[in-house]
Every structure is written in structure tokens, then in C-alpha cells.
Chains A and B, each alone.
Chain A
Amino acid sequence: MIKKGINKYRVVNFNNEEILLGIKVHDISVLNYIYDKFYPRIKKFIKKNNGNNRDAEDIFQETIIIIYRNINEKDLILTCDFYTYFFTVCRNTWLKQLKKNKKRVDKYDIDDKEILEIDKNLDKLFIINEKHKLYQKHYKTLKNICQEVIRLSLQNIPLKIIATKTGFKNAETAKYKKHICLKELFSRIKADSAFLKIKNEN
């Protein structure tokens, strides 16, 4: 269903439905297409508004993730072209970030209400995404064995099987390791200044 081809960056154009489907299934040609076609404009916008390349990449990535969350929550049907929608989410996400960091917004001063009117659900998704991103970041910094033990235990896989899969002596060792790893994860999350910020906001 998704168009492929070596000239995916340049020749092939995707319509709204194909782009949304591509995001839903993480299709690399669609993701590359979005990057190639829209990222330069996003970067320009972010850099004109107190951001740098890193911020632009971060906003680009998180915008697609927020759209992905939105697609998974409901049947998203766009009444505008994808870029308009994408840019709105990007702009919304960046302005929120700026406000959080108490930075000035001068060149593209946007009325938040105007953005939220387009899709109020995005606001909720932005908050969830921000929190989950932080938790996932710390999860990813754990040792691989810790990530594996936690992941398996959250799938309700019996400790005995976890022990076999991860090479621990027995279920008790796996259980002990699980608690140690989770303890480490929560202590890292709580020590993060971003977590304190989020906590104080809510």
C-alpha cells in the first residue's frame, strides 16, 4: 500500500491518507518523505524562535509521535493538507516548550487558542508524550539486562521463564533483579530535573 522506490525522497508524493498510514505503520519511506519535505521548514521556524538544530530535530520527532498517538486514538481524518496539520502540531509543541522554559516568542507569536481549536486532544497527548518520553529515556539508559527483565515482567511473564530467558539462576534471582532494576529506574526518573518540573506543573 505504501509507495516504495529509490526516488522516494524526490519523485514520489504521498497523499494525506498514505502519510497517516505510513506514520501508523512506521513506514520508512513515508517518514523519510516527511523529513525531506517538511523538516527544513520546521527547522527554519524553530531557529527563528529561540531554538537550535537539536530543538528542531526533537520537535520534529515528537510531533510525529504525537500524531502517531492521535492516529492510534481515533480515526484521524484531515480536512487540510498534511503539512498544515503537521506544522500546527509542531508549532504548538514548540510554543509550549518555550513557555515552559520561559523563553520569549517574538517572531511568530501565535495565539494558543487558535491552535488548540484545531484539535484539543493534542494538548492532552502533548502532556502524556512529554511524561512518557522522560520515562522511556531513563528506561533506555538502564543496562540491557535490566530493560529485558522489566519488559518481560510487565508482560506478566512468569519469573521462572524470565529467569530462563535472561540467564538468571532461578525465579528468585529474576525477581530480585527486577526489583533492583525498577528501583534504579525510579530513582533516575525522580532525580531528573525535568521530572520535578512536570510534577510541579500537574
Chain B
Amino acid sequence: MNTANTSTIIEQYIGGEFSIKKTNWVENEINTNPQFSNEYKLHLEVHKAIKEKDIMDLREKLQTICKQGEYREMGIIRRIFSINDYIKPAIAAAVLTVMVIASILLFSTGKNYTNDQLFTMNYESIPAISNSRSANSNSDQFINKAFQLYEQKDFNGAINIFKNYESDKFAQFFLGMSYIEIDQYQNASVVFLNILDKKNNLFTEESNWYLGLCYLKLSQTQKAKEIFNKIANSNNINNVKANKILKSL
């Protein structure tokens, strides 16, 4: 009897699929055949592990927390709440100084670019990150697949999953990014606008920035200007870049 057969027999035995005679035979094997017995124990262990949905959910939740932490560390998500209020004016002043210098430099060497060129110069793909989520419902387990697909640059596949998570800003942000990656700027802009509707979330800064870039690609220059103006006059991480774009528009 090979291992595959043993495995099948054990599963059928556990599933109660055997007659009394066959059941007795299996039980005898478990008691007398160490190899068979070990295989049986392995099956019981694996069954037990699979039944630990709570553990798998917890692990996925923790993976998400770690990934988000890593992501924040990379500086893409700004933890604005952790900035000391006393430091904020200093940062704003420093940013303003940089902006003024940048503006002067831009004016002295100013050059007009097309919207497409500005997009290309300023668009950076978000680094592919894998992610996993807590599986509070059956469908939640699929979101991890979406991040895998995003990582593999299967953006259409990722979109099909991300778009089911309307209330999840993390998923929605990556939905927007996925649309950009396949040149669907109109869809991307709708997604970013939805994120921005829910004010003061961790994706506000990045969503504003990418929305502005989408408007460039969509030749909606006036809207792009409004967005980049807003960014340039804020503490947004991209305010210097936004200011440069405005000078070129």
C-alpha cells in the first residue's frame, strides 16, 4: 500500500465512509502498523490545524498590521497624528522655504511640458506589497489574492477583487492604483474621489496626489490645477512636486 493510498483510506475512515469490516481493519492497522499510525496522526493534526479558522484569521490580521507598518515606514503613508504639534510649524516653515527656492529655480529654468510628460515625470508606481487581511467573512479571504495579483502585475485580476471592498480604504487605494497601471484614469479618479470623500484618512495625501495625476492624463487641466494647488498649499508630502507641476501647466 503506497502513501497516497494510505492517505485516501485514512480520509475515508475519518469521514465514516467505510463498512464495519473495513473500519475494523483500519483500526487494527492504526494499532499495529507504526507507519500507518503516524500517517493517521498527521491527518488528525492537519484537520485540527485547518479547523483553526480563528488562528488563521489572527495571523492574517497580524500580517496586515505588519505590512501596513512596513508601508508607513517606507513613508508612503504618513502617520500625521504622531507629529508633535510643536514641530508642525517648523516643518511647514522648512517646506515653505524649499517651495520658495524650488519656485525660484523653476522660474529661472522654467520649461513647459505636456500633461502626459508631467504625468510620466511624476508618476511612481506604489511598490508592490503583498498583504493579507482578516477573514471576517468568507469573501474576505480573497483580498489577499488581490494583493498577490497586484504584486504579480495582474492588475485586472486585482481590480476584480479590490472593487468588492468598497468600505476598505486600503483596498480602495490599491484599486485606484491598479486602474492607473492599466491606463484607466477615469475609473482611478472616481476611486480616489471616493476615498477623499471620507475625510482625514491615512490615504488622503496619496489619493489627492494620484487624483491630480489622473486629471493630467485625462486632460482635465483645470481640475488638476485645483488639486495640485491644494497639495502645494498644504503639508502634503508631495507639495513641492505639486508646485513644480503648477508652474509647468
Interface of A toward B, CB cutoff 8 Å: 6-7, 9-10, 26, 28, 31-32, 35-36, 39, 53, 57, 60-61, 64-65, 68-69, 131-133, 135-136, 139-140, 144, 147-148, 150-151, 153-155, 179, 182-183, 185-187, 189-190
Contacts and interface: CB of A to CB of B under 8 A. Distances in A.
Contacts of A131: 45, 49
B7 A60 contact: no
Contacts of A132: 45, 48-49, 52, 55
Contact of A26 (B63, B69, B134): B134
A6 B199 CA distance: 13
Contacts of B21: none
Interface in B3-39: 3-4, 7-8, 11-12, 15
A147 B3 CA distance: 22
Contacts, number: 96
A68 B55 CA distance: 8
A145 B134 CA distance: 19
- Chain B's interface: helix, strand, loop or mixed, by majority? helix
A91 B47 CA distance: 30
A61 B7 contact: no
A68 B58 contact: yes
Contacts of B98: none
B154 interface: no
Contacts of A32: 65
A63 B12 CA distance: 36
A153 B15 contact: yes
A3 to B, nearest CB: 16
B7 A183 contact: yes
B101 interface: no
Contacts of B65: 28, 31-32, 35
A140 B144 CA distance: 10
A186 B7 contact: yes
B11 A179 contact: yes
A61 B63 contact: yes
Contacts of A189: 46
Nearest to B67: A57
A27 to B, nearest CB: 10
